[in-house]
Structure 1
Amino acid sequence: MLMLFSRFTVIAPVSLSIALFISSCSESKISQCQRLITVVNEGTSLIDTKKGQQVSTSLQLSKDLKNVTKSIQELNLKDPELKEFELSFIKIFDKLSEAIAKASKALGDTKTAEASSDGRIKIEKARKEIDSALTTAAKTAGKESDALGVKLNSYCSQPQ
């Protein structure tokens, strides 16, 4: 009987030590929040600094936003709630990147229009469509991102 009790006293502390070690190795909610917020802020900063530039030069912005999307995907967050935020921000940046890329391509296509009154009309029409599409995409993404940012900040400020 003493042997069984002795074994239990060794197993219990070892099990407790392993559990504490595993939990200490897992990343905290706060550090996961910080990583997600950092990458999201990088994407938002890209948009803020490059907004208002010509659509033809925005192809790089589209690529940069794709990289932000990839960076968010690579965060591998473990917190289930943060994982949902991660997926939502991926969708937002991805949609915006695609809209910018399409607009940039459309503008590039208009450069091959003939130098005639018909060609000018096509170009003007394309520019209006491009501006409209980008404005719509940017406003939608901006509203979604702002609302999601408020929710993320609220969640991250809650105690664990």
Structure 2
Amino acid sequence: MSVGCRKNNIIIPVGVSLTLLLVGCDYSKASQCQRLIKTVNEGNSLLEINKGTQVATSLKLAKDLQTATEKIEQLNLQDPKLKDFQTRFVKVFTTLSQNINKAGKALNTAKLAKASTSGRQQIQTARSEIDNALKAAEIAAKQSDVLATQVNKYCSQPE
């Protein structure tokens, strides 16, 4: 056996062991918490950046929130409690996305309304839709805050 073969006999098992160790660590509670919190924070930052924006931006925000929802949904979490938080965050972000989309579309309808009796009715209907959508989004945002507090509390507990 040559020296080169002995190196490979040592390097390969060490490399495999390190890989397994790193993959195994990915399923620790701390690691899963970190991934969930990071992904949720990315979605929340979309809301902060786009507060009070107009129609096109609102519709884009709704689409971006749907993408954030999908990212949260795709997290491969093993911890049962974190999986529950994940499911609840998916519902919250879906609600936010749908209601911001409704508000954006209603705002667009109001902007396109003609100066007439039927136009005024469109504006009133749109205003009502916007108010309802924003109230539902506000409730979802409060749920998100409560969930975030619960996740932080859970994740700060020792394993």
TM-score range, shorter chain: 0.7 to 0.9
- Corresponding position of 2:102: 102
CA 1:153–1:112 in structure 2 vs 1: closer, same or farther (change >3 Å)? same
The CA deviation string for residues 140-159 of structure 1, in whole angstroms up to 9 with x for no partner, is 01210111111100100010
- Corresponding position of 2:14: none
- Corresponding position of 1:156: 155
Alignment of 1:125-136 (within 5 A): 125-136=124-135
**Considering only CA atoms, is the larger Rg found in Structure 1 or Structure 2?**
1
- Corresponding position of 1:82: 82
Q: Compute the TM-score of the two structures, normalised by the length of structure 1.
A: 0.78
The CA deviation string for residues 87-141 of structure 1, in whole angstroms up to 9 with x for no partner, is 000000001101111222223334443332441x224313421331233122201
Alignment of 1:1-160 (within 5 A): 24=24, 27-119=27-119, 121-160=120-159
- Alignment-mate amino acid for residue 138 of structure 1: A
Q: Is the 8 A contact 1:65 1:97 kept in 2?
A: yes
Which whole-Å CA distance do the structure 2 matches of 1:103 and 1:56 have between them?
11
CA 1:112–1:54 in structure 2 vs 1: closer, same or farther (change >3 Å)? closer
Instruction: After TM superposition, give the deviation of residue 51 of structure 1 in Å.
Output: 1.3
Which whole-Å CA distance do the structure 1 matches of 2:25 and 2:49 have between them?
37
CA 1:111–1:59 in structure 2 vs 1: closer, same or farther (change >3 Å)? same
CA RMSD of aligned residues (A): 2.3
| Unmatched 5+ stretches in structure 2 | 1-16
The CA deviation string for residues 38-81 of structure 1, in whole angstroms up to 9 with x for no partner, is 01111111111111112443000000000000000111101100
How many percent identity over aligned positions? 49
CA 1:145–1:98 in structure 2 vs 1: closer, same or farther (change >3 Å)? same
SS at match of 2:101: helix
Which whole-Å CA distance do the structure 1 matches of 2:87 and 2:24 have between them?
26
- Corresponding position of 1:10: none
Q: Compute the TM-score of the two structures, normalised by the length of structure 2.
A: 0.78
SS at match of 2:57: helix
Number of aligned residue pairs: 141
CA 1:26–1:54 in structure 2 vs 1: closer, same or farther (change >3 Å)? closer
